[in-house]
Structure 1
């Protein structure tokens, strides 16, 4: 029966990366969910906002 199969209700994410919308440089090192926050690119020094409802792609 399908009801006997255990269900996973929590996912643990170990890495979050963003691409700068100006220079396409990969930005990493985030602790927690970056959605709804403002960041400065470490490569081009331009600020960008991450939309509060941005989609997450699992790679």
Structure 2
């Protein structure tokens, strides 16, 4: 947008999101509690995960085997 400096909004620099640390803590607690409640699982060795790149790395496929 015509700015000479390069930064990632809501991550670093002058526009860092003030709720970033709270959001990280909420996600940590969510995963801890969710993993306590779901049946045991592992990655499917016959179907590896798929990712897409770009500005942010994203998992597009995560096949699981439920034990």
Category of TM-score, reference length = shorter chain: under 0.3
Could you say which structure has the larger radius of gyration? 2
TM-score, length of structure 2 as denominator length: 0.21
